[in-house]
């Protein structure tokens, strides 16, 4: 483990160090990505051109489904064939303290001394949708740092979290036998993004029922999209793999299916298409994030304070207040740069 002695904050120099195996440089770059703003922009400006070689894998599912244990054993599979692995564990952060909770991330300490593995618990302090902007960028950074596989683990409940999980080349939805109760609120969202299903904790009762449920929902969603049941648009029907992550049962098959999906995406050309769609969406999200930063700079002036006071005193509704501020901001006579 090289501990960086670099004093530089230059993203280009940090990236060069990171590509050379300097873990502290990777960590510093990720911190800049998490913090957003101009620092994140500067990192992406160097990382973007160096990215594209890694395959990204999103893992999502209910709290307690065993995603972290699965992630840990998948790291083992990848390391077995000497692939370097980066992991992003996306925690919903407290909206008030910005604190990230660790929890079962500790199981990942199996890989703590392995230079070919880099694990980071992601959290964004601050604005709504921060994770949606920061996570794909963090994945791209790990890609640019030379990791061959980037695993992104998110909890599969929540608008932002499901979206983040879907922003991968391959998305794995992890369920447990008898999953019906715990994810009812979000089944459709999860079905839509799954390239591969894992029934984890398959040593429990109900695996066959769960498999049948999943197959029925796959049929249903194929019908809903107006196409015939069966493989989707690029000829892929999400396989269903049963695992017991804690013992390693089924993990070899899971890894093989992941690799099969990766190759399938490449040979059909779907990989490039999917990445293009994701990048286009990312441009829009970054646009909104950058705009929000300009708004935040706007949100300190006397005009904003006056509008806010008017709303609090019930003299003005929030929409009229926002529109008045925007009209000001877009008025050529007003200097936005501050």
Is residue 294 close enough to count as binding a copy of itself by CB under 8 A? yes
Give the H/E segment covering residue 197: strand 196-199
Is residue 33 close enough to count as binding a copy of itself by CB under 8 A? no
Residue from 27, 295, 303, 306 touching a copy of itself (CB under 8 A): that is 295
Please report how close the Cβ of residue 289 comes to a copy of itself at its closest, in angstroms: 8
| 164 contacts 152 by C-beta, under 8 angstroms | yes
Q: Which listed range, 23-31, 111-119, 262-270, 309-317, lies at the site for a copy of itself (CB under 8 A)?
A: 309-317
Q: Scanning residues 145 to 204, which ones bind a copy of itself (CB under 8 A)?
A: 155, 157-163, 166, 181-189, 192-193
Is residue 112 close enough to count as binding a copy of itself by CB under 8 A? no
How far, rounded to the nearest angstrom, does the alpha carbon of residue 212 sit from its chain's CA centroid?
A: 29
CA–CA gap between residue 142 and residue 124 (Å, rounded): 17
CA–CA gap between residue 302 and residue 182 (Å, rounded): 48
Is residue 233 close enough to count as binding a copy of itself by CB under 8 A? no
Q: Scanning residues 257 to 286, which ones bind a copy of itself (CB under 8 A)?
A: 275-276, 279-280, 282-286
Q: Quickly list H helices, the chain.
A: 11-19, 23-35, 37-47, 67-80, 130-144, 159-166, 187-193, 207-224, 251-268, 270-298, 302-312, 318-329
Is residue 226 close enough to count as binding a copy of itself by CB under 8 A? no
Please report how close the Cβ of residue 321 comes to a copy of itself at its closest, in angstroms: 5
Is residue 301 close enough to count as binding a copy of itself by CB under 8 A? no
Residue from 16, 83, 299, 303 touching a copy of itself (CB under 8 A): that is 299
Is residue 326 close enough to count as binding a copy of itself by CB under 8 A? yes
Q: Which listed range, 5-13, 210-218, 251-259, 291-299, lies at the site for a copy of itself (CB under 8 A)?
A: 291-299
Please report how close the Cβ of residue 2 comes to a copy of itself at its closest, in angstroms: 27
DSSP assignment of 6-54 equals -----HHHHHHHHHTTBHHHHHHHHHHHHH-HHHHHHHHHHHGGG-SSS
Q: Which residues, 6+ apart, have CB-to-CB distance to 103 below 8 Å?
A: 68
How far, rounded to the nearest angstrom, does the alpha carbon of residue 214 sit from its chain's CA centroid?
A: 23
Residue from 21, 92, 206, 252 touching a copy of itself (CB under 8 A): that is 92
Rounded to whole angstroms, what are the CA distances from 66 to 72, 192, 198, 275? 10, 21, 10, 28
Is residue 10 close enough to count as binding a copy of itself by CB under 8 A? no
Helix axes 23-35, 37-47, angle to 10 degrees: 130
Is residue 59 close enough to count as binding a copy of itself by CB under 8 A? no
Q: Smaller CB distance to a copy of itself: residue 82 or 335?
A: 335
């Amino acid at each position: 483990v090289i501990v960086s002695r670099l004093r530089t904050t230059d993203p280009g120099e940090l990236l060069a160090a990171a590509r050379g195996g300097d873990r502290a440089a990777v960590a510093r770059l990720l911190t800049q990505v998490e913090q957003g703003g101009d620092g994140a922009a500067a990192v992406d400006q160097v990382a973007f051109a160096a990215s594209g070689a890694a395959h990204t894998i999103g893992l999502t599912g209910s709290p307690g489904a065993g995603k972290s244990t699965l992630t840990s054993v998948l790291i083992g599979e990848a390391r077995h064939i000497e692939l370097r692995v980066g992991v992003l564990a996306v925690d919903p952060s407290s909206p008030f303290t910005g604190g990230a909770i660790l929890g079962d991330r500790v199981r990942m300490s199996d890989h703590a001394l392995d230079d070919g593995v880099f694990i980071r618990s992601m959290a964004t302090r601050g604005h709504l949708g921060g994770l949606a902007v920061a996570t794909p960028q963090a994945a791209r950074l790990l890609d640019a740092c030379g990791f061959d596989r980037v695993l992104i683990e998110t909890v599969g409940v929540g608008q932002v979290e499901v979206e983040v999980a879907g922003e991968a080349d391959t998305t794995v939805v992890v369920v447990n036998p008898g999953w019906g109760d715990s994810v009812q609120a979000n089944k459709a969202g999860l079905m839509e993004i799954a390239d591969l299903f894992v029934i984890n904790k398959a040593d429990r009762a109900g695996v066959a029922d769960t498999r049948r449920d999943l197959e029925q929902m796959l049929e249903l969603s194929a019908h809903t999209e107006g196409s015939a049941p069966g493989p989707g648009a690029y000829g892929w029907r999400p396989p269903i793999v049963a695992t017991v992550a804690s013992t390693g049962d089924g993990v070899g098959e899971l890894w093989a299916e992941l690799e099969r999906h990766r190759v399938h995406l490449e040979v059909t050309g779907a990989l490039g298409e999917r990445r293009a769609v994701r990048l286009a969406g990312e441009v829009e999200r970054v646009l909104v994030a950058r705009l929000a930063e300009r708004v935040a700079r706007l949100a300190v002036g006397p005009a904003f304070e006056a509008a806010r006071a008017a709303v609090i005193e019930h003299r003005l509704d929030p929409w009229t207040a926002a529109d008045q501020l925007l009209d000001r901001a877009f008025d050529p006579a007003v200097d936005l740069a501050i």
